[in-house]
Amino acid sequence: MTKAQVVGRPVKMDSLDAYGFVGGEESEEAPRITRQFTDAEAAILRCAKRHWTMRQEENDRARRASELQELLAQTREQLLVEPTTNWMPANRYGNAALLPAFEPGKHVPVLALINPYSGAMAGTDILSIARKSPYYQQRFFNIIDVVKDQRRGGLLDLFRIELNAAKDEAKAMGTRPRIISGGGDGTASFSLFMVFAALRADASRGDDIVEDTGNGFIWTDEEMRDSFPALAQMPLGSANDFGHTLGWGHKYPGDFEGTGCVGSRHKALNALQVWIEAVINPSTRLANFDLFGFCPAEGQDSYNFRLAELTGRRGMNPKVLADGKQHLLMKEAGTPVPLFCCLYFSAGFAAYMTARFQINRRSKPLHNKLEYARQAIGIVSEQVPPQLQNGLEGIEINCGGSRYFPPREDDDEHAGSRYREVGFLNINWQAGMAHGADRAPACTRLCAIREPAKFNDGMVDMYRLKFSSAFKNPGLHIQTDKKEHGMTLSFKGGLGKGVFFQWDGEARFAFSPTGEPFDINVRKILNVPVVLGPEYNAKVTGDPDNGHAVHFAFVAKTLEQQQAVRERILRGVRNELNRELNATREEMLKVGLQCEELPRAHQHHPSQ
């Protein structure tokens, strides 16, 4: 009979436990014998070991599940704590204010991600009311805290659990859940980023709530399509172009009703309650929305540019003097990195102005608008810094394989220098003032009914502007050109030169670490559902029905490109794009950019 050697070294007979595993202590004086088992005995031992391992794994899972529930319970207690407002005036909606009663089965399940610092701290007041309001106290989140608390059992886990519950509740009603994004225009893409972060699977954790369904997410493709939350934008920022476009107002709920000689907290609260009731009303309309994204250029696997962020002293001129010239001062770029582009993209004047504004941001929307104007005056009154070209010199833009900028009628070496800005609109509001409409001859611009920039036609509404464009358009009605397949901006300027670009109110400086030409490629990557408010204006934005059922989808020409979009989003929420896009201080210094001084704690002392 064949024997099986189970234990590979001599052992004492009494050192074998009940399952045949080695245990106990060995003695030098003990006789060393080898215990061999028959095939049948070995099979029994292997079976016992499997059962023992399974029990250990079950016990470990139960322990981890219990531990997770304890952590979640602690986090939920913290969530219910009302924001501390001792240093602030009384709540603008009243200290006894409550949000409207939510009736399960009647009202559409809703969550919220709100920036507490937006709207002159109106976000804090709304979160404070939510903490005291049944239902909303469990589902209204401070988006800043969610970003900071992504530990196991933290706020992101709690948001994930509530999102799953809202999905199931909405599915039972035959609809999809809704999510309020409360903040400025950049908060919309920020909120979508956090939804994807909550839906990202994480096999390394071993928790059921982050189990992969086979696509990198905890929801199946069908669940993503049918239950991805529809976005409603609460306008708490300065411009609020997104909220205005979707019909949710140009100011935060209750701003007008709570100010002025006839304003009152009661009226402000009523306006807020009416606003929330419109979001949870099942008859409120939904629509498809084109979401654009930053992708490597055609034929490339990674970006060929790096990003820096403008810094400097607060004031009208942030530049520093070096070598007898005024230089831009840069620092390592922070978050967010370019991933989603909801509203608009531009390069040139407005992007440079936004970068300077970010250094001088104010606490009130009106003061922010005045700051934008101050920075615009500063730019036109100063000399062009060495890091920038004149106007848009060195920039070329292609859409769908054909050149858009510079236009062919201006086909000379310095054509770009005559323009101040180029970009595209996805929504038909910019800076709370400008609209886009299809290009038309000068004699018909005032009277013609032109197609506006639409957010779900699958196209970008490209524009190019000179300083004289305001007189030719006329006014703030920008002439646009609808283009399919997105756009690719190419820049050629040499070592140490770059271009400012902005997306959704965030600005960065892009440059090549080698001095070679680089490309910024933006195209449609997602179709997402949005909620349309009672103030939606079809005359400005067009018919919201694009002929397709409202749904969520990854968008690309091929399945391979679609998978690349999915993977890039997952890399984004894993914060892997930060390292790929954001330049280090060493990379900036290498190309000759001026960088801010490191704090003393980070400086290398010669004696070290």
- Which of 145, 155, 140 minimizes the C-alpha distance to 198? 155
Paired with 112 in beta bridges are 140, 180
Q: Which helix or strand (DSSP H or E) is residue 235 part of?
A: strand 230-235
- CA dist 102 and 137 (Å) reads 11
Q: Cα–Cα distance between 606 and 599 in angstroms, integer?
A: 16
For residue 11, is pLDDT > 50? no
Counting beta carbons within 10 angstroms of the beta carbon of residue 384, is it exposed (0 to 12), middle (13 to 18) or buried (19 or more)? Answer: middle
> What is the C-alpha to C-alpha distance for residues 248 and 245, in angstroms, rounded to an integer?
8
Instruction: Dump pLDDT digits (tens) for 50-94.
Output: 888 888 877 787 888 888 899 999 999 999 888 765 556 789 999
Distance CA 63, CA 331 (A): 45
Peptide bond into 336 cis (omega under 30): yes
pLDDT tens digits, one per residue of 17-62: 444 444 444 455 555 556 677 888 888 888 888 888 888 877 787 8
Q: Is the pLDDT of residue 317 over 90?
A: yes
Distance CA 110, CA 232 (A): 10
Question: How many C-beta atoms lie closer than 10 Å to residue 528's C-beta?
Answer: 23
- Mean pLDDT, residues 346-371 taken together: 92
DSSP string, 294-328: EEPPTT-SS-S-EEEEEE--SSS---EEETTEEE-
Tokens 């005045």 sit at which residue? Answer: 370
Alpha carbon distance 237, 252 (integer Å): 8
Instruction: Specify the DSSP class assigned to residue 373.
Output: H
Domain range annotation of the chain: 3-51, 80-284, 293-550+565-595
Structure tokens at 600: 């003393």
Q: What is the average per-residue pLDDT within 11-15?
A: 44
Residue 449 contacts by C-beta under 8 Å, 6 or more apart in sequence?
A: none
pLDDT tier at 15, thresholds 50, 70, 90: very low
pLDDT, the chain, mean: 88
The pLDDT value recorded for residue 455 is: 96
Angle formed by the axes of helices 365-381 and 349-359, to 10°? 120
Dmax over CA atoms of the chain, in Å, equals: 110
Amino acid identity at 438: D
Chain segment 534-563, per-residue pLDDT in tens:
999 998 899 999 999 999 999 998 999 999
Does residue 406 have a cis peptide bond before it, meaning omega lies within 30 degrees of 0? yes
CB-based contact 170:177 (threshold 8 Å): yes
Tell whether the model's pLDDT for residue 515 goes beyond 90: yes
Task: Write down the H helix ranges in 200-322.
Answer: 221-227, 241-246, 265-280
